[in-house]
Structure 1
Amino acid sequence: MLKFLTLKPEAFGLDISDLSLKIVKLKKKRGVFSLASYGEEKINPGLIKGGEIKDEEALVKIIKNALAKVQGEKLETKYVVASLPEEKAFLQVIQMPRLSEEDLKSAVIYEAENYIPLPIEEVYLDSQIVPPVYNQLPERSEGGRRTNVLRPDHLDVLIAALPKKTVDPYISCLKKANLKPLALEIESLAIARALIKNETTDSPVLLIDLGETRTGFVVFSGHSLRFTSSVPVCSQSFTEIISKALKVNLAEAEKLKIEYGLQTDAKEKGSQVFEALIPALSDLIEQIKRYLSYYQTHASHEHLLPDGKGVAKILLCGGGANLKGLPEFLNTYFKIPVEIGNPWINILPEPQKEVLELPLEKSLSYATALGLALRGVRE
């Protein structure tokens, strides 16, 4: 069939995490994106654990219920771009010799076995070539003459793999919910699509996704992810710490967390909240230090800034990013800009950062779903 007669189906984004799922459908009119539909549904604890689906039938019911209750326009499409659990993914940038496209594919599969701690036949493997950051930077001047940045003698290839035993239940649930998976991708890819303007940077950026059950770290540079990881430090654990330290129930602890955050100049109660969170915050800071140091020492020279420095900025997203005073608190430790991310940056015209239905504070927890939805209208 002729390409111009082929209609590509639009898809909505479906972000499935351990404790909730979120839906976003975008629409495009005259080249401008807008929000068409959105929704959120809680998932009972234990139904999904560490990214592993434990009860398919229960999850299918929740998905169907969420689809029926979306706010905004009714979902007419059955096509979906869904997330896969970050904590189960193996993601690595590897260096490969410059080969033909066909030879490179087979060589990547062979080389990937050295990085993936599972037999290659037990995982789904995907890869893409990523250009070095230096190739995206302006030419530099040396001794009054302009010089091109050195062209690396290798290719950088991003490989991503997930165990089939993890992925297959997600596919099964989507199909049982009468959906047609157009694409599945790990959360960090969707988050980067949502937060990085035009999906390109001329300096490395650390994305920190403070979710309900874990915090994800993503280093993005040039046109691609360079590194991802996650730790169990999370927004929910902050609430539990406050509850235990101040001897209040979880609902009250959540209110205190939202009201005071990390504002040390607040009332006495605010100081108590801050003091209770110090051990968890110290842990978070140490984790961030580790990943900043890892990238600085492991990134090839062509992926760092011309002055040899590593990450130049930190962007926060996820519901936990709403913690008052968090950007300022992190900035005092790392001495680099720390900002609340804008998950609408590739959707809405600047300087707009929110829509009436999803204000920025709420949108931060929708970053993955928005990134998935953006792919859904581009596929």
Structure 2
Amino acid sequence: MLATFFRRQTPVMVGVDIGSHSIKAVLLAKNGNTFKVEAVAVEPTPKGAVVDHEIQDIEPVGEALRRLVRRLPSKIQTAAMAVAGSSVMTKVILMDASLSDDEMMSQIEVEAENLIPHPLDEVNLDFERLHPHINDPSRVDVLLSAARSESVVARVSAMEIAGLDTGVMDIEAYALGRAMAAVASRQPGLTDHKLVGVFDIGARTSTLAVVDQGEVIYTREEAFGGEQLNQLIQSAYDMSGDEAERVKLREELPASAALDVLAPFQTEALQLIRRSTQLFYTTSGHDSLEALLLTGGSADIEGLAQMLTEELGFAVVVADVFAGMKIGANVNKRDLERHNAALAIATGLAQRSFS
């Protein structure tokens, strides 16, 4: 069960984010309230091995993880990973606050058939106490999480090939929110904001998470990502997929790209964010975010943050994932700078070592 991952006492873990384009790893240390980045590594994901958050071919992913692990300190034995997408369901339920964790799990297992829209033998369950219910302090809001067992097993199996144990299996959106709650408290210009959104632009899927005073209160995924930009580049300039990815990453786009490809991509991102935030406002009672952080591989596309700020009416900034952190002497500074915004989920996972 997922509970065995969440509750196991673990040593310091490396956070590993398995994406369809790349696998990212972050290792943190902590002294008091200050984090220190001890290692960062990025490895390309074998083509077709990961699609829509799901590992399609365990062996090549495991070999890519093995190459990734070789670039980390040899002392690391345990990893924190996450599941996402259609393989995950979360639901906030009300429970008696006096119940112990074991009693809560027993009750959840009894009632799970009415709570989970999947056969129970196909999912792993876990829960987290949130806070006393606003209208009844004798009851507590509990976050129930269910993940398809095959998604969990695939990640654990791939990590075993790399020679590491899995200490925590988290949920991507919550790892993202955890990392950005810390960023919002440290990044200049954001420290006074309490209700902050995070928009993570992945290769094919983007995630909106809303953090209220450090707690993730809303998540939503949309089919949108850097692949759309690659397709626009391919179409506009008659390039292959690999060529489009290369010129995008190296910022070698033609001068005409601002109108040909960047403007359509930015417009689609704006429409998606407006739709996702409106759904949040409708269900939460809030009427506006105070700020929005951009993360993911396409977060720092030229002009995106500025355009969104002008159109949405609140500050939109590219997240500095490592704002306020110390950087270890052996950390690859080039990788840290180049992949900063894409390392948000891996950083949130690495923080599980200290929670």
Which category of TM-score, normalised to the shorter sequence, fits these structures? 0.7 to 0.9
**Counterpart in the other structure of 2:117:** 117
> What is the CA-CA distance between 1:287 and the residue it aligns to?
2.5
> What is the CA-CA distance between 1:270 and the residue it aligns to?
2.8
Distance 1:214 1:258, change over 3 A: farther
Distance 1:128 1:193 in 2: 14
> What is the CA-CA distance between 1:310 and the residue it aligns to?
4.0
**Counterpart in the other structure of 1:337:** 315
> What is the CA-CA distance between 1:323 and the residue it aligns to?
0.3
Distance 1:110 1:295 in 2: 31
Match of 1:56 among 51, 58, 69: 58
**Counterpart in the other structure of 1:196:** 181
Match of 2:170 among 179, 185, 193: 185
> What is the CA-CA distance between 1:268 and the residue it aligns to?
4.2
> What is the CA-CA distance between 1:95 and the residue it aligns to?
4.1
> What is the CA-CA distance between 1:295 and the residue it aligns to?
1.6
1:180-329 matched pairs, under 5 angstroms = 180-197=165-182, 203-250=194-241, 251=243, 255=247, 259=251, 267-274=255-262, 277-278=263-264, 280-299=265-284, 304=286, 309-329=287-307
Other structure's SS at 1:196 match: helix
Q: Is the 8 A contact 2:97 2:139 kept in 1?
A: no
Match of 1:38 among 19, 37, 40: 40
Other structure's SS at 2:126 match: strand
**Counterpart in the other structure of 1:77:** 76
**Alignment of 1:161 onto 2:146:** yes
**TM-score under structure 2 length normalisation:** 0.81
Q: Is the 8 A contact 1:211 1:318 kept in 2?
A: yes
Distance 1:10 1:120, change over 3 A: same
Give the gaps of 5 or more residues in structure 2.
1-8, 186-191
Q: Which has the larger radius of gyration?
A: 1
Q: Which amino acid aligns with 1:273?
A: V
**TM-score under structure 1 length normalisation:** 0.76
User: C-alpha offsets along residues 205-247 of structure 1, whole Å, 9 cap, x if unaligned?
Assistant: 2211111222112122244322222222111220211220233
Q: Is the 8 A contact 1:342 1:360 kept in 2?
A: no
Of residues 76-85 and 199-208 in structure 1, the stretch that sits farther from structure 2 once superposed is 199-208
**Counterpart in the other structure of 1:129:** 129
Match of 1:65 among 61, 64, 67: 67
Question: What is the percent sequence identity of the aligned residues?
Answer: 21
Distance 1:44 1:155, change over 3 A: same
User: C-alpha offsets along residues 71-112 of structure 1, whole Å, 9 cap, x if unaligned?
Assistant: xxx3312111122234421123x2415442245444444565
> What is the CA-CA distance between 1:170 and the residue it aligns to?
1.4
Distance 1:57 1:255 in 2: 30
**Counterpart in the other structure of 2:14:** 12
Match of 1:21 among 11, 23, 30: 23
> What is the CA-CA distance between 1:362 and the residue it aligns to?
1.9
Distance 1:29 1:238, change over 3 A: same
> What is the CA-CA distance between 1:252 and the residue it aligns to?
5.2
Distance 1:227 1:109, change over 3 A: farther
The number of aligned residues is 335
Q: Is the 8 A contact 1:319 1:364 kept in 2?
A: yes
RMSD between aligned alpha carbons?
A: 3.3
User: C-alpha offsets along residues 323-373 of structure 1, whole Å, 9 cap, x if unaligned?
Assistant: 011111112222122111121246449xxxx98344445211111112222
Q: Which amino acid aligns with 2:78?
A: Y
User: C-alpha offsets along residues 89-141 of structure 1, whole Å, 9 cap, x if unaligned?
Assistant: 1123x2415442245444444565445321233211222222389x8xxxxxx
**Alignment of 1:90 onto 2:89:** yes
Distance 1:122 1:198, change over 3 A: same
Distance 2:279 2:114 in 1: 19
Distance 1:168 1:232 in 2: 24
Of residues 313-322 and 123-132 in structure 1, the stretch that sits farther from structure 2 once superposed is 123-132
Distance 2:233 2:65 in 1: 32
Distance 1:161 1:115, change over 3 A: same
Distance 2:162 2:325 in 1: 28
Distance 1:243 1:258 in 2: 15
